[in-house]
Structure 1
Amino acid sequence: MPTPDDEPDSLDRIAADLVALKDADGCSFAQLGRRIGALRIERGVPAEAASPPRSTVYDVFRPGRTWIDTALLRDIVRALGADEAEADRWVQRSVRVRRNGERARSEPVEADPPAPPVPARPATGSTLTAPAPRRWVTAVLLVGGILLNLLGLAVVQALNLPIFLDMIGTAATAIVLGPWHGAVVAIVSNMMGATVGVPAAPPFALVNVAGALVWGFGVRRFGMGDDIRRFFVLNVIAALVCSAIGAPMGLLVFGGFSGHGFDAVTSSIATMGVPLIAAVFSANVLTSLIDKLLTGFIALIIFVWLHGALHLCAAHMPLVERLSPPSPALDASGRGVGGSTRSGRARTRTDRPGRMPRR
């Protein structure tokens, strides 16, 4: 932490040194915010208060500041690779500047107590776990997922559509809550298929469960929710896995024609001289690709909405954070602080003097 002895320290110098530390690490402000959220979650901060808005993190790196939140400063340098002792030195440095009265004499001068040790981040390939939402939120999401699946079944049955739409609730629950929650939604909704006029639904519960596991583990264990390209691939994988289970089941249980709208696709392919087995697999794969891409992206939209409306943790799926609109800033205790809306962030970029650090 460079601080020449022959020059007085200041908040501007702290900001400049933070920029150098961040540039040496090479992470973006969005990545830094996600790291801070993970650190806070691991030491017990509620998920809805864990991830600071990017604008809040960005402002710490700006020159012309009158104070620095020492709790956030500690989390920033920890997220950039500093150990606990080094983080304490950054905090004490900020406190000394405030004691000297160079910028903000009205700010508290006591150093914040050291944060408890933070466990190591999960290694690549391990399952990312986020704290579970409150029980009533989980219950509402499970019931909502079941209703979404049943609604999709009813619409397809009523309109005789050549797609499925029976896994939107499964996909949404799996990526928001986890694969096993998605599996519960899959089983219950398929078992209730007869209530919406689809008595053939229960045998395909296994297909629905397979989709839940692919979506749920895909975004947690394999980082398939990091960007739009990887999420697209995840939906294609879900389609192929579901077809690999659903097509043989359709042949064995229903002889290739289950009374679903996509039977027309199977018949069209079979009339070209294609054997029935090949026709069933071809129709199922084609239909499933369209259906799972549509299902996956509808589930993504649902997660983005839930992330903004209920502040559900999206640390395991950075794509959701990037697609979400800016939210009011939260301090380390979860209380809202002013001046971090989109318009507020625009004002701080123009009203404060000095060069902005590189994004």
Structure 2
Amino acid sequence: MGQAEAAKAQRETLDHFIGDLRALRELTGQSYRALAVAIAQQREAAGASPGAAQIAHTTVSDAFRLGRQRVNPVLVREIVQALGLDSDEAEKWRERCVAAMAARPTGMLAGPPVAKPVTSEEFAPQELAPRSRAFFLTPVVIVVAGVLLNSTGKFLNPLLGDVLFFDMIGTAAAGILLGPWWAALVGALFAGIELLKGNVGDALFATTMISSALLWGYGARRWGLADTLPRFLGLSVLVALLTSALAVPITVLYFGGEPGRGFDGLFQSISTVGLNMWVMVGLANLTVSVVDKVLTGAVAFYLARPLKTLLNPSAVIAGSK
């Protein structure tokens, strides 16, 4: 840390620190209840029992209250990690919290706390304004890239035998990076493009991207299922089940039960058993969908992983200090 940064850290009050923590949470859109769940999951992953890992959402929200004389630095580190920063960045926030408490005037211990709310003008507007604009541009870039990735997968799939789909990599990656509703926008745009091209059938199938986006997004951002590859692959299997539940009626009702893809051989093999049309289409679709979504999830996970630290909105505040 340089002399200028050291001097800045010495001048920082606890209220200004909490103001930064508030801005960090607002940028990521996490609720206090969601933070409490994420912190409990972190503690369990670190070896704590489920009972000991629990934390009330009121305890979390209290850490964001202005006018405090002290804040638990360990809880601050847990909160920051739950908001998406890595352990190194979270440790820096803990150190800032300790330094801010140490810098308060001695007289504060004897009297009531002096709470000075951090206004938008006081909260480093010169530093945060450009970064905030960059943050709001970031989702647009990721959404456009997601649509292009989905289109690229759809284009390459026939070259690979047209057995799988590979048209949701961008949707899954957007779910990890931005959450459910931005990822759903990727699916909605892709469906709209197919509709404008006159591909009504493809547009109908593309609507499954929206439901998949919501499940991938909520699983990644609210339930912590994108923290590790095995968790995300398990989530992708659930996405495959949901996708099949929506795709089978489209295949049977709109396409007359003809899958019309490279897995016709699988469909024909199942049809020899003499099962009902819905069952045959369901088995064929689900078999392919599970393989496709697991592979899609793996590619999206490793694609989003290096971008998560660079593009995570929480890095906006961390980088301003």
Common fold by TM > 0.5: yes
Q: CA deviation at 1:331?
A: 10
| Corresponding position of 1:289 | 290
| Corresponding position of 2:232 | 231
SS of residue matched to 2:207: helix
| Bigger mean CA offset, 170-179 vs 271-280 | 271-280
Please list every run of 5 or more consecutive structure 1 residues that lacks an aligned counterpart in the other structure.
1-24, 58-68, 78-86, 97-112, 118-130, 316-329, 336-359
Q: CA deviation at 1:281?
A: 0.4
Residues 257, 277 of structure 2: 8 Å contact kept: yes
The one of 95, 114, 123 aligned to 1:73: 95
| Corresponding position of 1:248 | 249
State how far apart, in whole Å, the 2-side matches of 1:311 and 1:115 are. 32
TM alignment of 1:329-348, pairs within 5 A:
334=320
| Corresponding position of 1:208 | 209
Q: Say what the alpha-carbon RMSD is for the aligned residues.
A: 4.1
TM-score with structure 2 length normalisation?
A: 0.60
Q: CA deviation at 1:250?
A: 0.8
Residues 77, 90 of structure 2: 8 Å contact kept: no
Residues 78, 90 of structure 2: 8 Å contact kept: no
Q: CA deviation at 1:209?
A: 0.8
| Bigger mean CA offset, 191-200 vs 252-261 | 191-200
**Alpha carbons of structure 1 residues 257 and 39: separation in structure 2 relative to 1, 3 Å:** same
**Alpha carbons of structure 1 residues 314 and 244: separation in structure 2 relative to 1, 3 Å:** farther
Please list every run of 5 or more consecutive structure 2 residues that lacks an aligned counterpart in the other structure.
1-42, 47-52, 54-72, 107-113, 119-131
State how far apart, in whole Å, the 1-side matches of 2:133 and 2:295 are. 27
Residues 89, 318 of structure 2: 8 Å contact kept: no
Amino acid at match of 1:245: L
Deviations 1:20-67 (A, max 9, x none): xxxxx9996xx999953745998xxxx8xxx3653883xxxxxxxxxx
Q: Does 1:300 align with 2:286?
A: no
Matched residue count: 234
State how far apart, in whole Å, the 2-side matches of 1:197 and 1:304 are. 35
State how far apart, in whole Å, the 2-side matches of 1:72 and 1:314 are. 15
Q: CA deviation at 1:263?
A: 2.9
SS of residue matched to 2:254: helix
Task: Point out the structure with max Rg over C-alpha.
Answer: 1
| Corresponding position of 1:139 | 140
Amino acid at match of 1:312: N
**Alpha carbons of structure 1 residues 76 and 291: separation in structure 2 relative to 1, 3 Å:** farther
Residues 157, 198 of structure 1: 8 Å contact kept: no
Amino acid at match of 2:183: G
Q: CA deviation at 1:208?
A: 1.1
Q: Does 1:160 align with 2:161?
A: yes
Q: Does 1:36 align with 2:77?
A: yes
Residues 225, 231 of structure 2: 8 Å contact kept: yes
Q: CA deviation at 1:138?
A: 1.6
Amino acid at match of 2:272: T
| Corresponding position of 2:274 | 273
Q: CA deviation at 1:260?
A: 2.1
Deviations 1:331-359 (A, max 9, x none): 96635xxxxxxxxxxxxxxxxxxxxxxxx
TM-score with structure 1 length normalisation?
A: 0.54
Q: CA deviation at 1:206?
A: 2.3
Percent identity of paired positions between Structure 1 and Structure 2: 32
| Corresponding position of 1:151 | 152
The one of 54, 57, 61 aligned to 2:88: 54
State how far apart, in whole Å, the 2-side matches of 1:195 and 1:160 are. 26
Q: CA deviation at 1:249?
A: 1.4
Residues 191, 206 of structure 2: 8 Å contact kept: yes
Residues 243, 284 of structure 1: 8 Å contact kept: yes
Residues 153, 196 of structure 1: 8 Å contact kept: no
Amino acid at match of 2:232: F
Amino acid at match of 1:155: L
